[in-house]
Chain A
């Protein structure tokens, strides 16, 4: 009981410590005003982008250069604003979008590299690629692409292209929806941007409908390569490296890499109430959290069921071997399974199950997550239940046998109820950690609770409120579940003693 009271203060202390260390204790800053200042600077990039490879190639080896790779451009901008890095190297259009929303950062007037954007296709998928190129040529010829460019890139004109073909044959599009003005969520949760309208126009020419899946940028090429998606549309720059694993369409826009730095403008410090409004109330943004919570709970619930059923089976196989020497081969397989699952990170298992095991089938992602987390949890459940069974006195088995009861009868009616009661706390802890582990579901493109918070973050460029809210929801769930289990345990004890 004492532990529980300690829990919150300790948590807060750790939280503050971490904030202090990462937020305020930044290393010596280094002013960047032109490209010549980049060596030795702390440079932020979005992982896997042109900015990343440009900076890595040219500056990584330079003394004192510290390259920070972020999953999202918005995270890099956040870090810049907090003074954790000196500059962000990023596509100019994206940089403009950030600079517009954040008065305290500015773009340096110097292009680093000019590059071309194109969409990506699996190697050898020439038929689809050629059809796409034809459609692209058509919208270039009839002026549609120019109009879309005016709206999104040059910020003049109100033209918006609306998708016409919404049924019939469908293409699955992989895109990392965190890259305005190319692709991002609008307030209503719809996917919008330059790439999106370009895609709509081209695919209308092809006569097909599209389904856009939100996939982490550095996973898109793998998804296209594995056949999980037909086309990757996410502001991809044509590079020789990428050409080795995928094919590019013709280019649809030229862009440059630029440097973002902290400017003199103020953040326009919004009041706390304004921030709350902006992060949760405006455009119904709290829905991202609510829907995310639903998905998190759904995955956890079914993963727990799968974990119990399969874990149970594994435990019984192991015990049958330990007690009777039977099922030798199955026991061997079970042991192998436990070693592999407990010896590798659940994140890697999730990615393998999504990209390898279910590579060639277009399958519901919640199902994939349930399978991955359920199979992972089963390994831990199995060992917990097994230790519970082994802790029951052999005399209980012998008494059953002396009454002429079979092994499985004694197991079901005598041993398991006792074992279950003994391991209930351990099992509950396993499921509580499972709930937390599902927070990596975003890596296969699921919009779970954590991803919901990140989505709000990418809309508002505020980290504390959305992520804090996510943390609080997890905390409430975990503490609530722990309390419930404690009560259940007490009841079980009362029943028997």
Chain B
């Protein structure tokens, strides 16, 4: 049994009277690649953003190493750098070069000195095939290139888990592949990942667990085989037939 790295209990998120997520429980094991699917507006982004405290949970616990992210007494500054996040819109720092985008946070957190960070950045850039863009600015890159850099930027922090919120939705179709390939490699290396995605192919092939969120809760939770080929929930069946055709 792999060890549990994140334990989510009773997670609830409301905007005023409007409840988006209600009482969600989930254990994330080390090395797991979890794909989250569900209809638009069901709360996938909200869910994944609460795990990095970009949205403040209304109630519930997010436990990492026995510490609760949603407890005011917890020093979240020590935990948050261990959780990486990749956004649909990339969100690279526009005023920094590609290399500085990658080295800024690790150097700022004193995880490494500038020289080590530069070396690490070049290593990562080699790996995603963008070493020649080290001194370029984000506006000089294509969408697919930006998203690959965004992944490299979160990798530079040596995170224990990376959260992806629809990382390929803003890309032209011909660039989707280059980003998914890198994510596939990460999965194979054993990185723990939670990926909100519309790419059913990716969910089926790369993820080892698929969650279907609908009507404020996780309606179905299983292997890709179970979720895609033997769906039990009626809403999931409807959803699958609408996205797969």
Contact present for A401 and B87 (CB under 8 Å): no
Question: Closest residue to B52 on the A side, CB-wise?
Answer: A402
Cβ contact of A398, chosen from B87, B139, B157, cutoff 8 A: B87
Task: State in angstroms the CA–CA spacing of A414 and B91 once bound together.
Answer: 11
Is B33 an interface residue, CB under 8 A from the partner?
no
Contact present for B95 and A404 (CB under 8 Å): no
**Given A401-B54, A497-B137, A497-B140, also A395-B105 (CB < 8 A):** no
Q: Which of A153-184 contact B (CB under 8 A)?
A: none
Q: Which of B56-90 contact A (CB under 8 A)?
A: 77, 80-85, 87, 89-90
Residues of chain B with a CB closer than 8 A to A418's CB: 94-95
Is B145 an interface residue, CB under 8 A from the partner?
no
Residues of chain B with a CB closer than 8 A to A414's CB: 93, 95-96
Residues of chain A with a CB closer than 8 A to B140's CB: 497
**Interface digits, B90-114 against A, CB 8 Å rule (1 contact, 0 not)?**
1111111000000011001100000
Is B13 an interface residue, CB under 8 A from the partner?
no
Secondary structure at the A interface, as helix, strand, loop or mixed, is helix
Cβ contact of A404, chosen from B81, B139, B150, cutoff 8 A: B81
Closest Cβ of chain A to B124, distance in Å, is 14
Closest Cβ of chain A to B88, distance in Å, is 9
Cβ contact of A402, chosen from B54, B92, B94, B137, cutoff 8 A: B54
**Given A404-B80, A405-B105, A497-B137, also A395-B89 (CB < 8 A):** yes
Task: State in angstroms the CA–CA spacing of A496 and B93 once bound together.
Answer: 11
Is A399 an interface residue, CB under 8 A from the partner?
yes
Contact present for A399 and B104 (CB under 8 Å): no
Contact present for A406 and B139 (CB under 8 Å): no
Is A413 an interface residue, CB under 8 A from the partner?
yes
Is B154 an interface residue, CB under 8 A from the partner?
yes
Contact present for B157 and A403 (CB under 8 Å): yes
**Interface digits, B126-160 against A, CB 8 Å rule (1 contact, 0 not)?**
00000000000101100000000010011001000
Residues of chain A with a CB closer than 8 A to B104's CB: 403, 413
Is A486 an interface residue, CB under 8 A from the partner?
no
Closest Cβ of chain B to A147, distance in Å, is 75
Contact present for B89 and A401 (CB under 8 Å): no
Is A82 an interface residue, CB under 8 A from the partner?
no
Cβ contact of B94, chosen from A396, A403, A404, cutoff 8 A: A396
Task: State in angstroms the CA–CA spacing of A403 and B92 once bound together.
Answer: 11
Cβ contact of A496, chosen from B52, B90, B137, cutoff 8 A: B137
Closest Cβ of chain B to A43, distance in Å, is 64
Residues of chain A with a CB closer than 8 A to B90's CB: 395
**Interface digits, A377-404 against B, CB 8 Å rule (1 contact, 0 not)?**
0000000000000000101101111111
**Given A395-B89, A398-B54, also A403-B139 (CB < 8 A):** no
Contact present for A417 and B95 (CB under 8 Å): yes
Is A409 an interface residue, CB under 8 A from the partner?
yes
Question: Closest residue to B88 on the A side, CB-wise?
Answer: A395
Interface centre among B90, B93, B139, B154 (most CB of A within 10 A): B93
Task: State in angstroms the CA–CA spacing of A395 and B137 once bound together.
Answer: 17
**Given A395-B87, A395-B91, A496-B95, also A401-B80 (CB < 8 A):** yes
**Given A396-B94, A413-B104, also A497-B139 (CB < 8 A):** yes
Residues of chain A with a CB closer than 8 A to B89's CB: 393, 395
Closest Cβ of chain B to A364, distance in Å, is 40
Closest Cβ of chain B to A410, distance in Å, is 9
Contact present for B77 and A404 (CB under 8 Å): yes
**Interface digits, A456-497 against B, CB 8 Å rule (1 contact, 0 not)?**
000000000000000000000000000000000000000111
Closest Cβ of chain B to A374, distance in Å, is 28
Contact present for B153 and A403 (CB under 8 Å): yes
Contact present for A406 and B95 (CB under 8 Å): no
Residues of chain A with a CB closer than 8 A to B108's CB: 405, 409
Closest Cβ of chain A to B3, distance in Å, is 23
Q: Which of B173-198 contact A (CB under 8 A)?
A: none
Residues of chain B with a CB closer than 8 A to A404's CB: 77, 80-82, 105, 109, 157
Task: State in angstroms the CA–CA spacing of A406 and B93 once bound together.
Answer: 15
Closest Cβ of chain A to B141, distance in Å, is 12
Contact present for A399 and B93 (CB under 8 Å): yes
Residues of chain B with a CB closer than 8 A to A406's CB: 77
Closest Cβ of chain B to A67, distance in Å, is 60
Task: State in angstroms the CA–CA spacing of A398 and B165 once bound together.
Answer: 13
**Interface digits, A201-223 against B, CB 8 Å rule (1 contact, 0 not)?**
00000000000000000000000
Task: State in angstroms the CA–CA spacing of A496 and B87 once bound together.
Answer: 22
Residues of chain A with a CB closer than 8 A to B153's CB: 403
Question: Closest residue to A404 on the B side, CB-wise?
Answer: B81
**Interface digits, A72-110 against B, CB 8 Å rule (1 contact, 0 not)?**
000000000000000000000000000000000000000
Question: Closest residue to B163 on the A side, CB-wise?
Answer: A402
Closest Cβ of chain A to B153, distance in Å, is 7
Closest Cβ of chain B to A493, distance in Å, is 11
Task: State in angstroms the CA–CA spacing of A306 and B83 once bound together.
Answer: 41
Q: Which of A394-447 contact B (CB under 8 A)?
A: 395-396, 398-406, 409, 413-414, 417-418, 421
Task: State in angstroms the CA–CA spacing of A291 and B91 once bound together.
Answer: 52
**Given A398-B91, A403-B154, also A496-B105 (CB < 8 A):** no
Closest Cβ of chain B to A399, distance in Å, is 4
Residues of chain A with a CB closer than 8 A to B83's CB: 402
Question: Closest residue to A496 on the B side, CB-wise?
Answer: B137
Residues of chain A with a CB closer than 8 A to B94's CB: 396, 418, 496
**Interface digits, A31-58 against B, CB 8 Å rule (1 contact, 0 not)?**
0000000000000000000000000000
Residues of chain A with a CB closer than 8 A to B84's CB: 402
Shortest 9 CB-CB contacts between residues of A and residues of B: A404-B81, A402-B85, A395-B91, A399-B91, A403-B105, A404-B80, A417-B95, A414-B93, A418-B95
A residues engaging B (CB < 8 A)?
393, 395-396, 398-406, 409, 413-414, 417-418, 421, 495-497
Given pairs A395-B90, A395-B91, 16 additional interface contacts (CB within 8 A) = A395-B89, A396-B91, A398-B54, A401-B80, A402-B52, A402-B80, A402-B154, A403-B105, A403-B157, A404-B109, A409-B108, A414-B93, A414-B95, A417-B95, A496-B94, A497-B137
Q: Could you give 18 example pairs across A and B, Cβ below 8 Å?
A: A395-B87, A395-B90, A399-B85, A399-B87, A399-B92, A401-B54, A402-B52, A402-B154, A404-B80, A404-B105, A404-B109, A404-B157, A413-B104, A417-B95, A418-B94, A418-B95, A421-B95, A496-B137
